[in-house]
Amino acid sequence: MGLALDPAAEARFAAWEARVRELGDDLAEPGLPDDLAEAWDVPPLAPPPPNQVAKEQRRAAAAARAGRYQLLSDEDESDHGSDFDANAADVDAEMVGEDGEDLVDYGTGDWVEHLVMQDRTQKITKSGQIMSYRTLVTVGNANGTGGFGMGKGAEPQQSVVRAFRDARRSLIYVERYKMSGLLYPLYGEHNNLKVYIYPTRPGSGLRAGDIIEGILEGFGIADATAKAYGKRHPYSVVRATFNALLGHEGLHDVAMRRGARILSVHKTLLGRHHRDDPRYY
The pLDDT score that the predictor gives to residue 244 is: 95
The pLDDT score that the predictor gives to residue 121 is: 87
- Answer whether residue 39 shows pLDDT above 70: no
CA distance 89 to 108: 17
The pLDDT score that the predictor gives to residue 5 is: 56
| Runs of H (alpha helix) within the chain | 7-23, 34-39, 53-80, 86-89, 156-168, 210-219, 234-246, 251-258, 262-270
- Write the pLDDT tens digit of every residue in 116-145: 999 998 888 888 888 899 999 999 998 899
pTM: 0.58
Mean pLDDT in residue range 135-159 = 92
| Architecture category of domain 186-280 in CATH | 2-Layer Sandwich (3.30)
Amino acid code (one letter) for 27 = L
Considering the chain, what percentage of its residues have pLDDT values greater than 90?
31
Using 50, 70 and 90 to split pLDDT, how confident is the model at 110? confident
CATH tag, 53-173: 3.30.160.20
12 or 181, which is more confident: 181
Ranges of each domain in the chain: 53-173, 186-280
